[in-house]
Structure 1
Amino acid sequence: MNFSNIKAVIPARYGSSRLPGKPLLLIREKPMFWHVAQRCIDAGIDINNIIIATDDQRIIDEAGKLNLLSLITSAEHHSGTDRVNEVANILEWSKETIVLNVQGDEPLLPSELIKTLSTYIVNNPEFSITTAVTPIVKREDFINSNVVKAILGSEGRALYFTRSPAPFNRDNSEDISLAYRHVGIYAYTVESLKLFCSFPEAPLESYEKLEQLRALSNGLTIGACVFHQELPHGVDTVKDYKIIKEIMER
């Protein structure tokens, strides 16, 4: 499938509260955001359609050395989605342009996932937003509030996202066959992206600390493609960085 018209924005925030300067951490002598960009390129996204969206000139300078396009965005954004929306506004992308929001702290993100999501949104334009899920196979993940669960209805429609163990099989509490973990990668048209960012924080979003609930609370539809592959953890802490660096430098 031709992805020549799909844009990928990689939010790369320097001012991370848990790990300041995270996007510039080196793996194989390249900054973390470079590796995420490579996963997009491997998925078939044109390098000229990949934008590093950051809050810091140091990341802009490093991206330039590596021949990657980048933009300075506001340091006041509370989410990567708002940063992606600012990029779409600055570059004046048309409302039908498809934009991928690929987190800049997941250097091991499979390129096949990016390709799967891109294919899904092209083939399912009826959804306002598209994201990805993967089956939960361990009960410890099912009951872990840090693992966000996606509850799916018919034809890939996401009904809800929650930190609670859900959905619950009343007749067999050990059954987790319909449980899915949400993967934090999104695709949307610029029109849907702008609409999403125009809404204030929703009560459920604030309650569960899940921004996708802002979309559902305001009537936007979310499609979820199922990705049947175990996914690596992103980099949130120094410990995460050391583990992933060791894996990638073997």
Structure 2
Amino acid sequence: MQYTVLIPARLASTRLPNKPLADIGGIPMVVRVAQRVQSGVPQGTRVVVAADHTSIVQACARHGIESVVTAIDHVCGTDRLAQACELLGLQDEQVVVNVQGDEPLIDPQLVSAVAQLVWGVHAPSMGTAAHPIVSARDFVNPNIVKVVTDAKGFALYFSRAPIAWPRDLFARSEDALPVPAPLRHIGIYAYRVGFLRTFTALAPAPIETTEALEQLRALWHGHRIAVHLCEQAPEGGVDTPEDLVRVRQIYAAQAGVL
């Protein structure tokens, strides 16, 4: 199975300016993400950074990472991916995986597992991942996206609210979790290139606007999303300066600096 990993990278960031270029052990973060993916995906997998600024492209070039320059004014990340597919000349039947540019600790095996979800003639439109929630605080946190799946592992709904709501359990205790455990969505996606082109032409869905979750547009328009279940949470990405300090410490420890 061969596929292309696309890593969207925007220079603008409200909480962490110039985030893709943030230094991690002497290497820009977006390059670290690409190198991490390359270290464990199948041989022949193409890893490309979809940048919105030439400074990101130049940083990638210095470290031998392929990149393309996309428009700066894309409304959403999926639009940036679709343009990258056009620039790379990818065909409708090819598979791409969207790995965020602020995930320098991403597990390459997770990337391959999500890619597998959309492989084959009768594959769903999209693939993503989730893991069991082990904290009641996380379950009710609106910044943590939850997903409910059906018997075959396809997403029924994504929400910032705690779903499925354990009516009787929460009536007894606010610190309890339902059984089976609710699922936390992991922000990694696989698509067929043809679906990406279709997706960008779809009208935004009311539920997408309400929840501020782009993947709900696919469900609203009748497309299926397969969900790969991980046993435990992957390493966190970089959203804040504190996250960057944590990741720098991990890389330093791995390099034997600490």
- Scaled to the shorter chain, the TM-score interval is over 0.9
Q: Which amino acid aligns with 1:150?
A: V
Unpaired stretches in structure 2, ≥5 consecutive residues: 171-175, 254-258
Q: Report whether the alignment pairs 1:126 with 2:123.
A: yes
| Counterpart position of 1:30 | 27
| Counterpart position of 1:147 | 144
Match for 1:218 among 214, 218, 221? 221
Do the aligned partners of 2:118 and 2:125 also contact (CA within 8 Å) in 1?
A: no
Question: Aligned-pair distance for 1:123?
Answer: 6.0
Q: Which secondary structure state, in structure 1, belongs to the residue aligned with residue 169 of structure 2?
A: coil
TM-score normalized with structure 1 length: 0.93
Q: Which moved more, 1:69-78 or 1:162-171?
A: 162-171
In structure 2, C-alpha distance between the alignment counterparts of 1:120 and 1:89, rounded to whole Å: 23
1:160-201 Cα deviation digits (max 9, x unpaired): 000001102334333432410000000010111111111132
Do the aligned partners of 1:15 and 1:55 also contact (CA within 8 Å) in 2?
A: no
Q: Which amino acid aligns with 2:186?
A: V
Do the aligned partners of 1:9 and 1:84 also contact (CA within 8 Å) in 2?
A: yes
Match for 1:199 among 193, 199, 202? 202
Larger radius of gyration: 2
Match for 2:77 among 67, 74, 80? 80
Q: Which secondary structure state, in structure 2, belongs to the residue aligned with residue 60 of structure 1?
A: helix
Q: Which moved more, 1:114-123 or 1:96-105?
A: 114-123
TM-score normalized with structure 2 length: 0.90
Q: Report whether the alignment pairs 1:117 with 2:114.
A: yes
In structure 1, C-alpha distance between the alignment counterparts of 2:144 and 2:76, rounded to whole Å: 18
Match for 2:96 among 94, 99, 103? 99
User: Between Structure 1 and Structure 2, how many residues are aligned?
Assistant: 247
Q: Which amino acid aligns with 1:103?
A: Q
| Counterpart position of 1:52 | 49
| Counterpart position of 1:244 | 247
In structure 1, C-alpha distance between the alignment counterparts of 2:84 and 2:150, rounded to whole Å: 32
User: Compared with structure 1, are the counterparts of its residues 113 and 168 closer, same or farther at alpha carbon in structure 2 (3 Å cutoff)?
Assistant: same
In structure 1, C-alpha distance between the alignment counterparts of 2:183 and 2:32, rounded to whole Å: 27
In structure 1, C-alpha distance between the alignment counterparts of 2:121 and 2:113, rounded to whole Å: 12
Do the aligned partners of 1:7 and 1:45 also contact (CA within 8 Å) in 2?
A: no
Q: Which amino acid aligns with 2:163?
A: A
In structure 1, C-alpha distance between the alignment counterparts of 2:220 and 2:42, rounded to whole Å: 31
| Counterpart position of 1:231 | 234
Do the aligned partners of 2:128 and 2:188 also contact (CA within 8 Å) in 1?
A: yes
In structure 2, C-alpha distance between the alignment counterparts of 1:127 and 1:184, rounded to whole Å: 17
Unpaired stretches in structure 1, ≥5 consecutive residues: none
